């Protein structure tokens, strides 16, 4: 009986992981945290990237997705929004 309950609980957890993309016991990220993670993935930088690294990654991405290079203005706007969001997350220099 115990093993049956354990097996059912494991199956429920796996189904939850497949649907939600996270384990039931993992904390759900806020919408802002999700946007920041997406911006980092888009620019290809890590969580502790400096301002200069963000600028360099943004320039590389814009050079690839610029409309003159076969990209679209929507992709450039997305790259700019990612850069601006990550700039907002940098510690303030006083």
The DSSP code sequence of 10-56 is HHHHHHHHHHHSS-TTSPPPPHHHHHHHHHHHHHT--TT--HHHHHH
Q: What does the alpha-carbon distance between residue 77 and residue 74 come to, in Å, rounded to a whole number? A: 5
Model confidence, pTM:
0.67
The range of the structural domain enclosing residue 75 comes to: 2-89
* CATH (domain of 7): 1.10.287
> What's the pLDDT tens digit per position in 27-53?
777 788 889 999 999 999 998 999 999
Does the residue 94 lie in any domain? no
Q: What does the alpha-carbon distance between residue 45 and residue 34 come to, in Å, rounded to a whole number? A: 15
The token pair at 14 is 């796996």
Does the residue 73 lie in any domain? yes
> What's the pLDDT tens digit per position in 2-18?
899 999 999 999 998 88
């Amino acid at each position: 009986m115990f093993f049956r309950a354990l097996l059912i609980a494991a199956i429920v957890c796996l189904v939850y992981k497949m649907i939600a993309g996270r384990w039931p016991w993992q904390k759900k990220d806020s919408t802002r945290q999700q946007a920041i993670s997406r911006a980092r993935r888009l620019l290809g930088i890590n969580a502790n990237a400096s301002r200069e690294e963000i600028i360099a990654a943004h320039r590389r991405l814009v050079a690839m997705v610029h409309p003159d290079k076969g990209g679209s203005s929507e992709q450039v706007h997305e790259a700019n929004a990612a850069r601006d969001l990550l700039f907002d997350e940098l510690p303030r220099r006083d």
